[in-house]
Amino acid sequence: MSVEQLMTVSALTSAYRSGTQTPESVMHTIRQRAEQYNNYNIWIHLLSEAELMPYLEALADKSPETCPLWGIPFAIKDNIDLAGIPTTAACEAFAYTPKTSATVVQKLIAAGAIPVGKTNMDQFATGLNGTRSPWGACKNAFDPEHISGGSSSGSAVALALGMASFSLGSDTAGSGRVPACFNNLVGLKPSRGILSATGMVPACKSLDCMSIFTLTCEDANLVLASAEGLDQTDAYSIANPFSNQSRHFGSHGDKLRVGHLPETALKFFGDQSYAQAYRDTLDSLDAFEVEWVEIDYAPFEEAARLLYEGPWVAERYLATQPLMDEQPEAMFPVVKDIIQQGAKPKAAALFSAGYRLEALKKICQAQLESLDCLLSPTAPSCFTIAQLLEQPIERNSQLGYYTNYMNLLDLAAVAVPTQITPHGLPFGVTLVGPKFSDRYLLSIATRLQNYLRLPVGASELVPEVTDQTPVTRQEEIDVLVCGAHLDGLPLNWQLRERGAKLKRTTRTAPCYRMYALAGGPPFRPGLVLDETQGAAIDVEIWSMPAGQFGSFVAGIPAPLGIGKVRVEDGSQVCGFICEPYGLDGAEEITHLGGWRAYLAR
């Protein structure tokens, strides 16, 4: 089996363990392949054998058992630092040589990964097409006449053509998703801040995030787990919460409630093959038991327009200001034309746009709250390079129609391949969710990838079915109450003020005894399991936001506590139970069937 067929992380790891490949043999083959595709303009700096040697030698001191990316090659977009290698952001006049690698790169190398080189990109990450570079237009892995997508063009194409097992990009407007679509890859645009941006040249510092390209969703989860973490050197870095940790990745198996755009909001700019691929994708999801919910896309589209038509272009100006002020002629012409507009917005325009953005966030997030995800095309069309160069501003803007809003609205997204068009070009969709839904989205995406069974990248490899651990999103926790927390009673405020809602009134299984405990007010019952002399007791089940559950439980006084209570339908729910010692001095009221009946007596 060739190296090209082994480039997923799991397959390459297995090859190392079996002894059929070594990191040295893999890197040798990658360098040969880079030469083969030299005219695709993929690399700005491919590491030499001498530059690779320290990374290969360092593997001897690392264990494959404790380093999950041991010997795994990865590509780095050239706006992300690798120690000792120039960072150019695709502009020679801007270049500098960092002494230390970006925080994320350091973490990946510590996990055993091997950097292959620095990849071509749209200059200063300004573009979604891959043609805005002095190193030449980066060509599509499937058809060199077509664009590869940008700005993370080289990172995507290097992966698709078998020169890496994963790659790093950056994403402000869609640069971690559009190239994934055009090159048949998974593109993870994480929640902003869970990957450190230290060591990454910013495009829009307040909006940017590093992105991850992989061949499978399982690889995306593994790379994210190795790279994430709070970084005090990055002012925008945030800790990833428990609910979004790696252990919550699997395969989503429940019925899905998925948002989709109304037909009137869909735009493919004349590309009928992409329009049909999108419809075919939706049809294929019928096997998933999907409940489709049409959303109002207008507020998302309005937010998207703010990115380039609003004052945020000033951030691009700030990121390049010394060069723009002193050597503007050194910049790629169309990039210069875009960035120089950033000197014009006034503070009043920024605040005005900020006010509108906050209003749009509320509207958009309210629509997402009831959904498992929003699904849209990743890109409307894959233009030829010639078409893009004919209308570089307009067509680049069209490429961001489905992507530009996401970082402004602080959302997470996963681009996943779904079709190969009759013209031989990849097509894919993007799953969108709220901040910190990364692992949940990856779990839906892996279910989709396992179902469709497409070859990955530009290879003929169809990966083995990945992690099938069942995953659901637990944003709410059901709480069973039987006494003072019942609706309308003295402690019910402890539920309502935490955002809990009454889900249903029911009864326990017929195996509980109820007691009126001594003391009060408030007067409280005790529920005790008794398999032989128990009865069914009237209860209520409330649905509480998961983030509020801990404080609720912490406030429960002894001898009461929370345990699993059986319900008459056979399910088990977190609910109030009582320690046996609490029954001293209590009155048994089981025969009354519930607390309300006791109060009425």
189 is catalytic: no
Residues near 259 by beta carbon (within 8 Å), at least 6 away in sequence: 292, 293, 294, 295, 367, 368, 371, 373, 374, 375
DSSP SS3 for 334: helix
- Structural tokens at position 188: 């993870």
Query: What is the Cα–Cα distance from 430 to 377, expressed in whole angstroms?
Result: 6
The one-letter code for the residue type at 392 is P
Rg (CA), the chain: 28
**Distances 517 to 165, 307, 523, 528, 579 between C-alpha atoms, Å:** 63, 61, 7, 12, 11
List the beta bridge partners of residue 428. Answer: 417
If you write DSSP's letter for every residue of 176-220 in order, what string do you get? Answer: TTHHHHHTT-EEEEPPTTSS--TTB--SSTTT-EEEEEESSHHHH
Q: CA torsion 171→174→177→178, rounded to 10°?
A: -130
User: Which one of 101, 133, 148, 151 is the catalytic residue?
Assistant: 151
Q: CA geometry: angle at 17 spanning 14 and 20, to 5°?
A: 85
Answer yes or no: 148 catalytic: no
User: Judging by beta carbons within 10 Å of its beta carbon (0-12, 13-18, 19+), is residue 107 exposed, middle or buried?
Assistant: buried
Q: Where would I find the beta strands (DSSP E) of 512-571?
A: 512-516, 525-529, 538-545, 560-566
Helix 217-227, helix 438-452: angle, nearest 10: 150
- Say whether 205 is catalytic: no
Phi, psi for residue 200 in degrees, rounded to 5 = -115, 125
**How many angstroms separate the Cα of 472 from the Cα of each of 250, 253, 314, 372, 414?**
9, 8, 41, 10, 17
β-bridge mates for residue 76, sequence order: 118, 168
**Strand, coil or helix: what is 482?**
coil
Tell which residue, 274, 271, 244, has the closest CA to residue 376. Answer: 274
User: What are the backbone angles phi and psi of residue 593, rounded to the nearest 5°?
Assistant: 85, 0
Q: Of the listed 133, 170, 175, 211, which one is catalytic? A: 175
190 burial via Cβ count (<10 Å: 0-12, 13-18, 19+): buried
- The total number of residues written for the chain in this structure: 601
Rounded-to-10 torsion of CA 296, 302, 304, 306:
-160
Task: Say which DSSP state 86 is in.
Answer: -
- Cα separation, 120 vs 414, in Å, equals 22
Q: Which residues participate in catalysis according to the annotation?
A: 77, 151, 175
